[in-house]
Chains A and B, each alone.
Chain A
Amino acid sequence: DAGVTQSPTHLIKTRGQHVTLRCSPISGHKSVSWYQQVLGQGPQFIFQYYEKEERGRGNFPDRFSARQFPNYSSELNVNALLLGDSALYLCASSYETAGANVLTFGAGSRLTVL
């Protein structure tokens, strides 16, 4: 079975540009979460979606947005890129949301902002 797939794996942008990152969850998983992992730090929660609705939002500016599609895949969008947005963006899927539910992570999209 395919795991969580993310695209693109690597990308380079310049300040001020826009980026869209994509995620396909494990088949049957209805929840997708996004995390930002800056080099040398632990992942930080950005968003969670469940059944196409936003269930949670982390402490990130409005330049960050996301959505979930009817097939449960998801996009993360970042506008007006800053140098500090350079990071590994991780997508995770799960069958449900809270409690002991386990997140399965993809390999990530590494964004470099120049």
Chain B
Amino acid sequence: AQSVTQLGSHVSVSEGALVLLRCNYSSSVPPYLFWYVQYPNQGLQLLLKYTTGATLVKGINGFEAEFKKSETSFHLTKPSAHMSDAAEYFCAVRYGSSNTGKLIFGQGTTLQVKP
């Protein structure tokens, strides 16, 4: 079955430290890949997406992600964490064979940023 795995339900970093949130998907066929962020009591906001082309994708708020086909991964990084980055982060995939807009989400990773 198609699935998305986010390693680590909680990640804690100090302000100014590197943020690394891990995402792996389960298919040999490259899907479309997305990272969303959810702040408390809000909906999901798109951070970035990978479709085709350059494997390093830059998003909003200084985040970027790298698509690695050989590792079936799409990890999210930010060089320097800010207190405002504290939120829930979701990796999601849409497979090209799907004729619907169905996104398959991971379980989410809560990012805590310590002062």
What is the minimal beta-carbon distance from A43 to any residue of chain B, in angstroms?
5
Interface residues in B, total, Cβ within 8 A: 27
The reply to whether B41 and A107 form a contact with Cβ atoms under 8 Å apart is yes
Q: Which residues of A contact B18 (CB under 8 A)?
A: none
| A105 & B99 in contact (Cβ 8 Å cutoff) | no
- Number of residue pairs A-B, CB distance < 8 angstroms: 75
The docked-state distance in angstroms from the alpha carbon of A33 to that of B101 is 8
Q: Which residue of B lies closest to A100 (CB)?
A: B51
Give the CA-CA distance A31 to B103 in the complex, in Å: 14
Q: A99-B96, A106-B43, A107-B43 are in contact. Are A42 and B108 (CB under 8 A)?
A: yes
Q: Which residues of B contact A56 (CB under 8 A)?
A: 98-102
Partner of A42, one of B41, B90, B94, B99: B90
**Would you call B90 and A43 a contact (CB within 8 A)?**
yes
Q: Which A residues touch B99, using CB under 8 A?
A: 55-56, 97-98
In this complex, what residue of A is CB-closest to B9? A40
Residues 70-114 of chain A, each 1 if its beta carbon lies under 8 Å from chain B, else 0:
000000000000000000001010101111111111111000000
Contact call A43/B44, Cβ cutoff below 8 A:
yes
Chain B residue nearest in CB terms to A96: B101
B42 close to A (CB within 8 Å): yes
Cβ of B96 and Cβ of A58 under 8 Å apart? no
In contact, A48 and B102 (Cβ under 8 angstroms): yes
Give the distance to chain B from A5, nearest Cβ to Cβ, in Å: 10
Complex formed: what's the CA distance from A55 to B102 in Å?
Answer: 10
A66 interfacial by beta-carbon distance below 8 Å: no
Q: B83: CB under 8 A from chain A?
A: no
Query: Residues of B at under 8 Å CB distance from A?
Result: 4, 32, 34, 36, 41-46, 49, 51, 90, 92, 94, 96, 98-108
CB-defined A-B contacts under 8 Å, sample of 5 = A42-B90, A42-B108, A43-B105, A44-B105, A102-B49
